[in-house]
Structure 1
Amino acid sequence: MRKITILLFMLIAGIYTRGQAQPEAKAKSILAEVSKKYRSYDVVKAEFVFTIDNPEAKVKESQKGILYVKANANKYKMSMDDKDLISDGKSQWSYLKADKEVQVSNVDNSSDALNPAHIFTMYEKGFKSIYTGESKSGGKVYQMVDLAPNDIKKPYFKVRLSIDKIAKQISNVVIFDKNGNKYTYNVKSFMPNVKVPESIFIFDAKKYPGVELVDLR
């Protein structure tokens, strides 16, 4: 009887392990396809809506933004209602519109903050991934993948990706942090290989007259 119980337990454990492995393998396969396509681009332009939501604190705020990213380099320009973020891969300029102030700092690749340049590739390292199914909206089918950071000290515990099944592009990113905040990047348009000058990734003081520069390097 004891041997039968042990064999039954091992059988159930084996089924459970295979069941878990399948969604993980599917997630990796989906993300590999997304990464391959994205990495084939030069500069991409994405228009998005960024939302902060915390039901407990009764906070829900949204604003529109435009993001330019050099797909295979740590360069970006993100313009939102309240600020602009620009980086040439070495320095980052944060323009706070209300304060008419620009803060320049070194790019910190080890920061817990999510780098705008990595919003479409953040899953490539540092995460465990699992496929959770499909969702339909607006005539499109989206593949849902949940990410969990390997480093449990991260301020967020889960990232949910919605991936356009046909286009192989990330359409929605939801970040769940440990303080109950939910940050959503809802991509409204995605344009690959846009033509922009390299200077777009460098802060040009001439375009911001009267703005105070604060060097934090």
Structure 2
Amino acid sequence: MKKLLIFSILTVLTAGYASAQKDADAKAILSKVSAKYKMYDVVKTDFVFTLDNQQAGVKETQTGTLIAKSKLNKFKVSLYGADAATKNVAQQEIISDGKTQWTYLKKDNEVQVNNVDNSGEGLNPAKIFTIYEHGYKYLYTGLKKIGGNIYQEIDLTPEDDKKGFFKVRLEIDKAKSQIYSALIFDKNGNRYTYTLKSFVPNPAVADAMFTFDVKAHKGVEVVDLR
């Protein structure tokens, strides 16, 4: 079964930074970030996703959109086509109403249906802005200037050394207390970068957005994996 590349972030970090502690500077910065996001019922962000593996000679870039109701564990992730003809058309989607999760693959006209995983093994996109709160060590590594803006850099490492990745590096906009980018280092040499291009708090969103409408996708094959 095909899976969305974005779910590479949903299995984050390992023991590369085993000595890292939950230092006070990192905690203070992250607390500001999560407190800000928790003010909103819904958030919408456009992002650029890049997969880079220098050893394999692979580098791929896609754009996407995340809409999340974190308090209700609902989200919709859309990944768009890479060429001009499909750049504004969602090629892949992950949708969750908090109980059921649908993964839609436009090219195959297939939707995979699963129960939402509440085990904590993966990273729920609805909780993307507060991932550090459970199961991670964090270390503030200093300031970084990108395009005239100042960012605070924090490295996260999982307390569970069985994760498929060994580090997540966050760049946080110091002035806005918002995440600017997340760079995930996995054990296979892949580097996944998510750069947030926009942030819209409390957009008008119908609750129907967080369910998959089979009737709206003519001929779709439903693969029920529950």
Same fold (TM over 0.5): yes
Q: State the Cα RMSD in Å.
A: 1.7
Please, which of 182, 193, 202 is the counterpart of residue 184 of structure 1?
193
Q: 1:150 to 1:205 in 2, by over 3 A?
A: same
Trace 1:166-177 onto structure 2 (pairs within 5 A). Answer: 166-177=175-186
- Give the distance between the partners of 2:124 and 2:79, measured in 1 at CA: 15
Tell whether the 8 Å contact from 1:45 to 1:69 is kept in structure 2 after alignment.
Answer: yes
Report % sequence identity.
59
- Give the distance between the partners of 1:148 and 1:112, measured in 2 at CA: 14
TM-score (norm: length of structure 2) = 0.84
The DSSP-based 3-state class of the residue aligned with 1:120 is: helix
TM-score (norm: length of structure 1) = 0.87
1:207 is matched by which residue type in structure 2? A
The DSSP-based 3-state class of the residue aligned with 1:189 is: coil
1:106 is matched by which residue type in structure 2? N
Trace 1:1-217 onto structure 2 (pairs within 5 A). Answer: 24-81=23-80, 82-110=91-119, 112-217=121-226
- Considering Cα pairs closer than 8 Å and 6+ residues apart, tell me whether 1 or 2 has the greater RCO: 2
Tell whether the 8 Å contact from 2:20 to 2:137 is kept in structure 1 after alignment.
Answer: no
List 4+ stretches of structure 1 deviating above 2 A.
20-23, 109-115
The alpha-carbon deviation at position 113 of structure 1 amounts to 3.6
1:172 is matched by which residue type in structure 2? S
- Give the distance between the partners of 1:22 and 1:117, measured in 2 at CA: 26
The alpha-carbon deviation at position 66 of structure 1 amounts to 0.7
The DSSP-based 3-state class of the residue aligned with 2:188 is: coil
- CA deviations 1:82-120 (Å, max 9, x no partner) are 310000011100001111100000011226443222221
144-153 or 105-114, which moves further after superposition? 105-114
- CA deviations 1:166-190 (Å, max 9, x no partner) are 1111110111111111111110001
The DSSP-based 3-state class of the residue aligned with 1:64 is: strand
> 1 or 2, which has the higher helix percentage?
1
The alpha-carbon deviation at position 22 of structure 1 amounts to 9.6
Unaligned runs of 5+ in 1: 1-19
Unaligned runs of 5+ in 2: 1-18, 81-90
Q: 1:182 to 1:74 in 2, by over 3 A?
A: same
1:177 is matched by which residue type in structure 2? D
- CA deviations 1:12-70 (Å, max 9, x no partner) are xxxxxxxx999811000000111111001111000001111110011110100011001
